[in-house]
Structure 1
Amino acid sequence: MELKIESNEQKRYSVELYRYSSYIHFGRLIEELTAVQKKHESECFSQLLNLNSFNDICKYLETNDIETKFYDLFKKIIIENIIFSSTSHVFISNIEPNSSKESIEEKISLITKEFTGIHQSNSIQNFYNKIDELLIDESKKIHFPAIYEDGDNIIVFSVTRILKQEKPIIVPCMLKFDLTHDKMYSFMCNKFNNLNKKDENDITTINFFHKEIISKLGMLGIQEVLIDNLKKSEYEKKLFLECNRLNVSLIEDYQKEFLQEKTGISKSIKSVIKTLSSIESISLGESEKEKIENQIQSICVGEYITQNVNALQLRKKAITKGLYAYPTKIRFLGDDASRGDTKSTNLRHPLPVHEIFHSLNTSFKYFESIEELRLAWFDSDFSKSNSDLKQSTTVSQTTIKISSGRVIINFFSRSKKNKEMILYVLRKLQEIIEPS
């Protein structure tokens, strides 16, 4: 069965796809369409695969039809391509339990009745994908071009239109509702930097955009549940433990090597502590002595590493150890509300290559949780299909923190950002803070 649309309608519809051109990663789109053809042993996208740009594809669709089931797949692929090429932040929170696909679908018309530009929009009562039909011609409004099922999840594709230096810009967002685990994942694109006040945008920040979307989705009976302080502390503690594990794994071989080579170091440190303890005005218990010993030892090991090991060697050490990432920034909290932080010069330099890290490293071990963690992830782990990256030490950074009742991940990479990367980071983070 083929998609039957009058030519003038199809032309109007394909024009709506043009609006997303700046977000499309054309190379990945071709790869995805090719994979679908191979899976279905079909030539459904053969004509599209011979085209040179997304605009060419849109132009082709003005006058040519694609079989309905494959056209539906095409639209889903387009949404994922837009989102995973543009996501700058992912917000993770919970939703009220007992939501079901049936209860959500029953309320779809409450969303679609506000549509403009869709042929027979009032007849939309079920899950839908109208990315090629919905007119995004109004600023100061949240639009929902698609709400559909994806396995056990519900996908909501939402956009808004803002003005930037008087130029209209479409800002996309995708929310994934995991009804099995009562989780919500919000894939956000931050286009709100450097907005001009004279453009008079109502939506001016990524957080406000998210808030407005959540408010609208209340019509579907979906209610966000923010992470409470108890769970926040639990997550931050787990991030702390994982960060400490990564750092220890990076330096433990060098520390052992140094202490074995310099056998007199430990004896000298103990002598210093003994001398310090003998001062009448200083009283040291065993825990204080141990802490001082660790601090001096860490500084000595740090000096050894910073003068004998470079950043590339540390990255290779991390790969040898089977680490998926290494910290490049830590902001940590103590149980007495004290704070500390340290960061590397850039993503290619693991923290232990810097002397300042070792002066704080012992203190870090006595802190209780992490307020913010920046990790450099090895590209090879989420780019299995890219043979150039399999043995590479290149990395991509993310920042992780728990704020405003949500886990927030900020993805820094632009050129290497893709679906594999984003979903890999989310899976790994899930293993850290909520292991099964």
Structure 2
Amino acid sequence: MDDEEDYNYHLARTIPSLYRYVKEEIIEVLIKKTDEIDKEKDRKALYNLCKNLDNKLLNDIRKTVQEKTSDTIKRSVSDIITDLYYDLEDRPKKSDREEIIANIESLMIANYIKTKHGSNNRVLSKEAKKKKLPGYTTKIKFMGNRSNRGATQSAGSKQPVSATDMFHSLYISFKQALGLEVWGMSWFEDFNYTNSNNTRVLQTSIYSQNTQFKVVFLPRKPLNKEIIYHVVRYINKQRQQETDNE
């Protein structure tokens, strides 16, 4: 047997073995079974997970800003509408006025975060760790309920997307979204919360497509299986909850 034949012989033996190993030791261990992809459920599951994490991370900040500015913003919007629209019939409906107020509040929250924390990207990530969240969102691409789309991302794995002005500019559309197509997430490597000062993260990108649900790990160092299992199981749990809720 010459070198080429020897290579092909070993390759023919290796590929099936590798396939069996991946199937038995990785796929079946992580997800137990493979089901048909339900894109709409997956995208909704990602959206709900992202929204819940955002709410938990920024709840205190939003509450502070709204308590201090809500009455002023409402009066100001009312005065502006009165000055701008002479005819009562031309004035925005109640739902439109409420959306204007919500957009202004969202921009004030963005400014508050920027003014309070400046370029210190670690403040919000430390807050996420303090609240024992699994991590924080770094990128979103969503579909709105008005046939529109939105997308934004942070500067990197150490900065939550909620620290960016663009996220808050899109926040009202994001709140009304139907699901996420692409979601970027930084996961705390210390997912057992043994060290409150350890905010090192593993960055991932999650894609919900017609034929596949894909999690891409973007490590800066070799990964251990524990963090991989943690991430995949956490995501799959949310996907299963979406199915169970229907």
| 8 Å CA contact 2:39, 2:210 repeated in 1 | no
1:270 and 2:142 correspond: no
1:215-255 per-residue CA deviation (whole Å, 9 max, x = no partner) reads: xxxxxxxxxx642xxx2112211211111111121112122
Q: Give the match for residue 143 of structure 1.
A: 15
| 8 Å CA contact 2:144, 2:173 repeated in 1 | no
- Structure showing greater radius of gyration is 1
User: Going by fraction, where is helix more abundant, 1 or 2?
Assistant: 2
| 8 Å CA contact 2:145, 2:176 repeated in 1 | no
User: Equivalent residue of 1:183, what SS?
Assistant: coil
Q: Give the match for residue 300 of structure 1.
A: 108
User: Going by fraction, where is strand more abundant, 1 or 2?
Assistant: 1
Where do 5+ consecutive residues of structure 2 fail to align? 1-5
The letter of the residue matching 1:175 is K
Distance 1:392 1:381, change over 3 A: same
Distance 1:301 1:426, change over 3 A: same
Shift in Å, 1:326: 0.5
Q: Give the match for residue 415 of structure 1.
A: 221
Instruction: Give runs of aligned pairs for residues 353-392 of structure 1, distance below 5 A.
Output: 353-381=163-191, 391-392=197-198
User: Equivalent residue of 2:92, what SS?
Assistant: coil
Q: Give the match for residue 175 of structure 1.
A: 23
Shift in Å, 1:391: 4.1
1:351 and 2:157 correspond: no
Distance 1:285 1:396, change over 3 A: same
- Pick from 64, 83, 86 the counterpart of residue 257 of structure 1: 64
Instruction: Give runs of aligned pairs for residues 390-429 of structure 1, distance below 5 A.
Output: 391-429=197-235
The letter of the residue matching 1:328 is T
Distance 1:390 1:248, change over 3 A: closer
1:143-163 per-residue CA deviation (whole Å, 9 max, x = no partner) reads: 21257xxxxxxxx13xxxxxx
| 8 Å CA contact 2:57, 2:128 repeated in 1 | yes
| Bigger RCO of structures 1 and 2 (CA < 8 A, at least 6 apart) | 2
Shift in Å, 1:317: 0.7
Q: Give the whole-Å Cα distance in 2 for the aligned partners of 1:243 and 1:282.
A: 38
1:431 and 2:240 correspond: no
Percent of aligned pairs with the same residue? 26
| 8 Å CA contact 2:202, 2:219 repeated in 1 | yes
Distance 1:269 1:379, change over 3 A: same
Q: Give the whole-Å Cα distance in 1 for the aligned partners of 2:32 and 2:226.
A: 23
| 8 Å CA contact 1:380, 1:391 repeated in 2 | no
- Pick from 94, 99, 124 the counterpart of residue 286 of structure 1: 94
The letter of the residue matching 2:16 is F
Q: Give the match for residue 142 of structure 2.
A: 332
User: Equivalent residue of 1:345, what SS?
Assistant: coil
User: Equivalent residue of 2:23, what SS?
Assistant: strand
| 8 Å CA contact 2:129, 2:196 repeated in 1 | no
Q: Give the whole-Å Cα distance in 1 for the aligned partners of 2:223 and 2:60.
A: 33
User: Equivalent residue of 1:340, what SS?
Assistant: strand
1:26-82 per-residue CA deviation (whole Å, 9 max, x = no partner) reads: xxxxxxxxxxxxxxxxxxxxxxxxxxxxxxxxxxxxxxxxxxxxxxxxxxxxxxxxx
User: Equivalent residue of 1:175, what SS?
Assistant: helix
User: Equivalent residue of 1:332, what SS?
Assistant: strand
Q: Give the match for residue 123 of structure 1.
A: none
Q: Give the match for residue 3 of structure 2.
A: none
Q: Give the whole-Å Cα distance in 2 for the aligned partners of 1:358 and 1:334.
A: 15
Distance 1:360 1:348, change over 3 A: same
1:237 and 2:44 correspond: yes
Shift in Å, 1:366: 1.4
Shift in Å, 1:397: 0.7
Task: Provide the alpha-carbon RMSD of the alignment.
Answer: 2.8
Distance 1:427 1:358, change over 3 A: same
Shift in Å, 1:142: 8.2
The letter of the residue matching 2:91 is S
User: Equivalent residue of 2:128, what SS?
Assistant: helix
| 8 Å CA contact 2:204, 2:216 repeated in 1 | yes
Q: Give the whole-Å Cα distance in 1 for the aligned partners of 2:71 and 2:197.
A: 42
Shift in Å, 1:288: 1.6
Q: Give the whole-Å Cα distance in 1 for the aligned partners of 2:178 and 2:76.
A: 28
User: Equivalent residue of 1:405, what SS?
Assistant: coil
Shift in Å, 1:368: 1.4
